[in-house]
Structure 1
Amino acid sequence: MDEMRLNQAEWRVRHAFRRGDVVDFRTEGGGESGNESEERTVRAKVLRALLIDRPTEEGEIARMRVLGARITGTLDLQYGTVEHPVTLSGCHFEETPLLYGAQVRQFSLSESRLPGLMADGLRVDGVLRLTGCRVTGPVALGAARVSGACFLDDARLTPGPDRDEGPALALGHAVVEGDLWAAGLTSYGQVLLDGAQVSGVVNLNDARLEEPGGTALQAETLTVGSDLHAMRLRTLGRVNLRGAAVPGQLNLAHARLRNPGGAALRASGCRAGEFWLREAAPIEGGVNLRRAHFDLIFATPEVWPDEVRVDELSYTKLNPPLPAERRLELLERDVEGYIPAAYEQLTASYRRIGDDAAARTVQLAKQRRHRATLPLYARLWGHLQDATVGYGFRPMRAAGWLAGLLLVGAVTYGLRPPRALTSGEAPDFHALAYTLDLLLPIIDLGQEKSYTPDGAYQWLSYGLVLAGWVLATTFAAGVTRVLSRQ
């Protein structure tokens, strides 16, 4: 480094670096990090030379700690190795820093303003901190590897109208061995987390992600070590979590997901311990939960939109506890139509908590939904089973029908007894026993074969015999279904 060509600010940075001291320009040159005064202007090539050449003083630990500087030129550390911690907080960068393939100990750009950050393949042995940054171009951290945590909390990403440069934030296939902390992140462009691996927590609480007509959060096959918190998340555009793996909570409580005219949430094949939509706003756009698996889903029916896909969705428990009739609303919204497995899944969840009545309600709803897919003759038979015994899930209906018909027959034939077929040989007539003989095809009380009614009363007897056979058949079908279910 040619020391004779350094300006006053650069001399201060050089000497402070050798001793690990802080250089704070925030109260100098007008107090704005973008001020053009030479008193706070540092050329990027000077910083690069310090970081690469590593000048030190004996007995001191070198470290770059610069606050509030105006950095001109391009900070180019591509493929370089920086062995000292770097803190460039509250700085104003005129050009996009280039850190492609670089290896650094620890790197902080907190509260800085940048036109972008190109850092694909970056290796950070400690913490990467972009807290509160204001970036007007893409932040590229694809395939980066961070041994500690990665902080993007309260950062604001506002790429220009030309989106051909890629996502606003790209962390595709990155590896973060600590937490990915992006609480309060604002991004007016796509946040890309495809294939990323985060050993700790992903925190998107209070984040605002917008990509109208596109995908605001692209996180296919994201792997998280514990939880993904996105409480109070606000999105405009699709949230894509296809194939994501979250062993703890996938928490979207109080969130608002919007993508009118498209899919607002795609979580097909996603696996999570708990999926929370507690007190979330009604989702504006479609939801795809096909082949997803959750141990617990916390959501009320009001959250779900009209277009929902739940084919092969599996879960263990649903919260909050609700009547089966309310949970059935979701299954009726599935755009795929009748999905038998979805009813079986809901039935199983009610049986796990011991609510057999709710489980039977779901099974009855399943049979009614299935009936609509059958040909006419089968639908008619289905209506008959439904009205008589509720497809076997309402067996007491048969007893009610039987009691009603028994009363009609007993009163009618009690007022107008039928004539005996063989005078003097017939047993005494009992209207109740005679009606039972007509209704129950497997019981012979000796009344039906000894007496025969006349005229319209004979047609009533035919009707009772037919009704008895129908009741017996449908009841047997229902019992068979119950036994096979158990």
Structure 2
Amino acid sequence: MQRYTSWAEIEPSATPAEKKLRDAVTAAAFCHLGGGGLPDTPDDWTAPNPARHIRADVLRFFLRGGCADCPATELGVMLDGALVTGTLSLTDCNLSGNMLLHNCRFQNGINATRCRTTKNFRLASCRVPFLEAGGLKVDGQLSCIGAEFQNKGGTALNLQNAEIGQTLFLRSAKILGAAHLNGLKTGDQLDCDGAEFQNKGGTALNLQNAKIGQALFLDSAKTLGAAHLNGLRTGGQLSCIGAEFQNKDGMALNLQNAEIDQDLFLRSAKILGAADLNGLRTGGQLSCIGAEFQNEGGMALNLQNAEIGHDFFFPSQDKVQGVINLTTASCGDLVDQPAGGPDGCTLILNGFSYRSIHRFTDARTRLDWLARGDHWKGEFFPQPYKQLAKVLHDMGHEADAREVLYVMEKKLGQERRKSLRQEIANLRSETPSLGQRIARYFLLTAEYASDWLQRVTVGYGRKPFRSIGVLAGLIITFWLFTLAAWHSGGFAPNSSIVLTSPQWAAYDTRDKTPNPANPADHWSNKTIPGRDWESFNAFAYAADVVVPIIDFGQTEAWAPSTTRGPAGVVLWWMRWVFTILGWIVTALGAAALTGIIRRE
């Protein structure tokens, strides 16, 4: 590198382009070479077009302020259309003016490590093999709009720990090689709209632990290779609308532990590979409307422990291949389309919490959604059901909330029985103890019975009025038995005085066929004591037997007889069964109504 200290050292070998640059720099004017525009790549860099040829060392001389004979003004260097040969070395340099380069093509790269400029640093639409600028400090803007940095297999753009006082523009830039911006700090926004970062098989964009003063824009940007934005901090939004992150079978987008003060937009984005947003924090919404997440057989979208300050616009599941992990994530309002989803989309909803849901508040649709996310690796998670029921309850959808909890209890019962069956299977293989297996079978049978009874009678405490229907069914069933016994002569008055009276003794049937066929009916209708006795009603008798809190006086007045035919014998035994069932159902219904058996 030639370190020029005066124009006199340059003038003997100065090209026409360098002389024109000198005149422009000293006059605070823009230097347009060769009519402006980006020059073609020379066939021979040792003999470029003199009208556009600027040596990197000469350019460095003017960037550093020139000399007393040709001093640069406070505007610095403004150059368009140059062919710059050699490597521009600005390491540890202090630039007092602007560096405004447009449409310049560099033979080699730019070294600007720890360079400091109090104004603007611009490489608009330039073609540079690399920019090595770790620790760069720019008080104004750093603009690389439309620029191209090409260093395939190496580092094309290095801005590690750089500090940009205002905005960093990489809009429509193309970086072919690694782009390292980790530790970057900007006072204003970072604009990468339409930029391309290509480093297939490696890191295409590294913004780890970067601190962006305002918004970060990656709209319509494309990355081929990993995009690491973990630990990123933005004072505004992060917008990736229409962006494409591609790193198949690897990490496509890494936003672990990123903190976005406002909204995160992934609207219409395409992520081909894993999208890891574990520990993400946003002050605003997260919008995945129209986004596509493709990582078949792996983690497509990981939002574990994420905290979304406002709305979460959930991705349409027909555009997802892979797992969506929402374990312990939280958001404000959930806006989604729960129905549908391909077989390749798997949900993990354990610990996911939200304040409310928009649309699709019916239990049937939501239960289908929960069923796709309540298991992971064979383990059942009841929390998603609890969460949905709570939200539906708070939104006023009481019936839907109860249905959700009912299904949860049903699935918990299935899981308990599954566990018992597994224990039995393990006992068979591990121990020959018949007693232990019998005990486990007994417990399994008891579990089945208990689960069935709670489910049918009170819906696990979530549907207490089912007990009324069950009681009605028991009453009707027993009513049929009662009718059969009554019409076949299987009833007698429930009174020792009546049974020993001469009127009733006339109906003795021990040694002969009864005449009349129904003594109880004949006695109650034809005799004076019978007409004054409690009239028999089969339905009221059935209700008296089944429902313990009802007393129509039928069981006090009438009883089935065990000596007047088989119907009476059957009914005599059946009333004990139906009385016990009635007590059980009534007790369960009362417990459900008072909330005793609800497992909140």
**TM-score, normalization by structure 2:** 0.74
Worse overlay, 76-85 or 196-205: 76-85
RMSD: 2.6
Contact between 2:591 and 2:597, CA under 8 Å: does it hold in 1?
no
Counterpart position of 1:108: 143
**How many residue pairs end up in the alignment?**
480
Counterpart position of 1:324: 363
Q: Distance in 2 between matches of 1:54 and 1:360?
A: 81
Contact between 2:560 and 2:571, CA under 8 Å: does it hold in 1?
no
Contact between 1:391 and 1:474, CA under 8 Å: does it hold in 2?
no
Q: 1:257 to 1:45 in 2, by over 3 A?
A: farther
Q: Distance in 1 between matches of 2:457 and 2:249?
A: 51
Give the CA deviation at 1:214.
Answer: 0.8
Contact between 1:51 and 1:82, CA under 8 Å: does it hold in 2?
no
Q: Distance in 1 between matches of 2:259 and 2:41?
A: 39
CA-to-aligned-CA distance 1:251-302 (integer Å, 9 cap, x gap): 1111011111100001111111221136564311011111111011211123
Give the CA deviation at 1:338.
Answer: 2.3
Worse overlay, 294-303 or 202-211: 294-303
Contact between 1:168 and 1:189, CA under 8 Å: does it hold in 2?
yes
CA-to-aligned-CA distance 1:380-432 (integer Å, 9 cap, x gap): 21112212221222233222222233234335424532222435277443323
- Counterpart residue type for residue 476 of structure 1: A
Q: Distance in 2 between matches of 1:156 and 1:146?
A: 20
- Counterpart residue type for residue 50 of structure 1: F
- Counterpart residue type for residue 154 of structure 1: G
Contact between 2:27 and 2:73, CA under 8 Å: does it hold in 1?
no
Counterpart position of 2:10: 3
Q: Distance in 2 between matches of 1:76 and 1:172?
A: 22
CA-to-aligned-CA distance 1:333-355 (integer Å, 9 cap, x gap): 23333222221111111012100
Contact between 1:131 and 1:152, CA under 8 Å: does it hold in 2?
yes
Superposed counterparts of 1:128-139, under 5 Å: 128-139=168-179
Unaligned runs of 5+ in 2: 77-96, 151-155, 418-443, 500-532, 562-567
Counterpart position of 2:451: 382
Counterpart position of 1:178: 214
Secondary structure of 2:251's aligned partner: strand
Counterpart position of 1:457: 571
- Counterpart residue type for residue 277 of structure 1: F
Counterpart position of 2:485: 416
Worse overlay, 238-247 or 103-112: 103-112
Superposed counterparts of 1:131-170, under 5 Å: 131-160=171-200, 163=202, 167-170=203-206
CA-to-aligned-CA distance 1:169-227 (integer Å, 9 cap, x gap): 11111111021111110110111111111101111101011011111111111111111
Q: Distance in 1 between matches of 2:401 and 2:115?
A: 64
Give the CA deviation at 1:96.
Answer: 1.1
Q: 1:210 to 1:365 in 2, by over 3 A?
A: same
Counterpart position of 2:529: none
Q: 1:53 to 1:160 in 2, by over 3 A?
A: farther
Contact between 2:251 and 2:276, CA under 8 Å: does it hold in 1?
yes
Secondary structure of 1:374's aligned partner: helix
Bigger-Rg structure (1/2): 2
Q: Distance in 1 between matches of 2:459 and 2:367?
A: 17
Contact between 2:475 and 2:543, CA under 8 Å: does it hold in 1?
yes
Q: Percent identity between the aligned chains?
A: 23
Counterpart position of 1:51: 63
Q: Distance in 2 between matches of 1:247 and 1:216?
A: 24
Contact between 1:190 and 1:210, CA under 8 Å: does it hold in 2?
yes
- Counterpart residue type for residue 261 of structure 2: G
**TM-score, normalization by structure 1:** 0.90
Counterpart position of 1:261: 297
Correspondence 1:356 to 2:393:
no
Counterpart position of 2:132: 98
Counterpart position of 1:202: 238
The correspondence for 2:542, drawn from 418, 435, 438, is: 435
Contact between 2:322 and 2:346, CA under 8 Å: does it hold in 1?
yes
Unaligned runs of 5+ in 1: none
The correspondence for 2:337, drawn from 300, 307, 310, is: 300
Give the CA deviation at 1:319.
Answer: 2.2
Give the CA deviation at 1:23.
Answer: 4.0
